[in-house]
Structures are given as structure tokens and as C-alpha cells.
Amino acid sequence: MRGVVAIAQNTVREVIRQRMVLVLALFGVGLVAASQVLSPLALGEGRKVVTDFGLAGSSLLATLLVVVLGSSLLHKELERRTIYAVMAKPIRRSEFLLGKFCGLWITAAALIAGMFAIVLGVVTVSYGETPWLVLGAMALTVLELGVITAIVVFFSSFTTPALTAFFAAATIVAGNFADDLLYFGSQGAAPWVARATEAVYWMLPHLTVFNARGAVVHGIAVAPERLAFAAAYGLLYLMALLIVAGAIFERREFR
């Protein structure tokens, strides 16, 4: 377990070195500018517009960070051959993978927390009211990022950075269309097609489970049972992915 923690800490340091603070600063400046420019144009809906853009921007940026940085994390270790030094220590490959996952997820969660804090601050200062309900959406976004990080780590365990980024992005897009896939499969298709689409439906991550951005903006709180369900689903999904990724990575030949 100590090995996992050490690798996670190292991954956090590595990701932070990629100018994450700059991302936060740019996000803050962008949101302040947007609130000043958009508020007069939104006919009294400035608070909603700024909160919406803030939440959507945070989630998009954090997802991009996970996909872009995550897809090359393992590859860098292989390319620089630093993985051999790590593997010489009493640590299993699957633990190494788990450490990478934890490091990336923790960093993404910290980034999300920072960006949501900026949203809360900007909305409070601009409109004199703190939208505390966005914290429920933040918890769900952190869980969503856990699933996305696991997807990235899963693909990076057996393919190149470019393909990892592509497959991860495709899975995220498909995860938002999971319900439609099931619907089309059930509309008079051959039985085997219906069964295949149903299987894909269950395999895809149901990312809509983690999306409460639209609700909190309209003053609807995230219910504790929804949070509990999302946590259970997200943790089970990412654990399953990490187990499969670990098994693949154990068998992978390093060149």
C-alpha cells in the first residue's frame, strides 16, 4: 500500500508541474470576464448564465486534463524507462497502475474543487448570493472524473497515448448516448443486434448519473440517495475497470 501512496504522490507532483495553477488562473480570469460581459446581455439571467458556464467550464477543463495528461502518464514512464527502476522495487504492476490512477484522480479532484471555489466566489461577489447547492454537483463531478480517470488508465494499460485519448473521448461521448443506443437496439432490430446493443449499454459508463449541473442551477439540491447511488455505481465501475486494466498491465511486455 505504501508503494501505491508513493506513486500517487509522485503522479500528483508530475501533473502539478504541468502548470495546473495556470489553468486555474486562466479559468478564474475567464469566468470573471464572462460574468462582466454576459450579465448585461442576459436580461436578468446573468447569475444563471455565469453559474452554468462556470460549472460546465470546470467539468470540461478537468475532463480534458484527465484525458490529455492521463493518456501519456504510463507511456512517459515506459519511454523514459523509469518504470524499470520502479519495477525493481517490491511493487506489483497493478499497484503501480493504481498509484497512477489515484494520483491523477486526486489532482483532477483538487482542480475541480479550485474551479468550483472560483465559481462560488465570482457569483457571490457579482450577485450577492452564494450558490451553495453547486457543492452537490461538485461531489458528483468528482465521482465522474474518477470513472473517466479509470477509463483513461484502462486504455493506457495496453495502447499508445494517441489511441488512449481517442478511445477515452469516444467512450465519454458514447457514455452520454447509452440510453439512445438501447432505444435504437429495441426498435425492431434483429434479436442478436438487440442483445448486442443491450450488452454495450450495460458496459458503457452511464455518465448522466453524475450530472446534476442543470438541477443545482435551478435551485434543486442533489438528494443524499442520488449521491449515494452515484458513489456506489462510480466506485464499482472504476474498480472493475482498474481490475481489468491491472490484469492486462501485468501481462504487458515492456520494450
- Residues in contact with another protein by CB under 8 A are 38, 41-45, 48-49, 52-53, 55-56, 59-60, 172-173, 176-177, 180, 207-208, 211, 213-214, 217-218
Helix segments in 39-92, DSSP class H: 46-79, 82-87
Helices 93-127 and 46-79: crossing angle, nearest 10°?
160
Q: Residue 45 or 250: which CB sits closer to another protein?
A: 45
Rounded to a whole number of angstroms, the minimum distance from the CB of residue 48 to another protein is 7
Element (DSSP H or E) covering residue 115: helix 93-127
- Cα(128)–Cα(92) distance, integer angstroms: 52
Q: Other C-beta atoms within 10 Å of 229: how many? A: 12
Rounded to a whole number of angstroms, the minimum distance from the CB of residue 173 to another protein is 6
Rounded to a whole number of angstroms, the minimum distance from the CB of residue 222 to another protein is 15
Rounded to a whole number of angstroms, the minimum distance from the CB of residue 52 to another protein is 5
Q: Residue 180 or 250: which CB sits closer to another protein?
A: 180
Q: Residue 82 or 186: which CB sits closer to another protein?
A: 186
DSSP codes, 90-110? S--HHHHHHHHHHHHHHHHHH
Q: Residue 26 or 60: which CB sits closer to another protein?
A: 60
